[in-house]
Amino acid sequence: MRALQVPEGVRMALARKLLVITAAAKHDLAGAERRLDRFTADLDAGRFPEEER
């Protein structure tokens, strides 16, 4: 596991995205898997969501 050095607002946005993916998994497992794949691909590529305020 690696530590992600991002501003607090970005960390909050990432946590919110993970919560959405988790909620989606309860209703649409395949869709949640696709979202999680995109989420991790974005992180690996250095693409982060806008900072929350």
Segment 4-52, tens digit of pLDDT: 889 999 999 999 999 999 999 999 999 999 999 999 999 999 898 888 6
Q: How remote is the C-alpha of 16 from its chain's centroid? A: 7
More confident residue, 1 or 5: 5
More confident residue, 43 or 1: 43
Which has the closest alpha carbon to 49: 15, 25, 21?
15
Task: Write the CA distances from 51 to 10, 16, 17, 26, integer angstroms.
Answer: 4, 12, 12, 27
33 and 27 Cβ atoms separated by less than 8 Å = no
Instruction: Tell if the pTM clears 0.85, that is, is over it.
Output: no
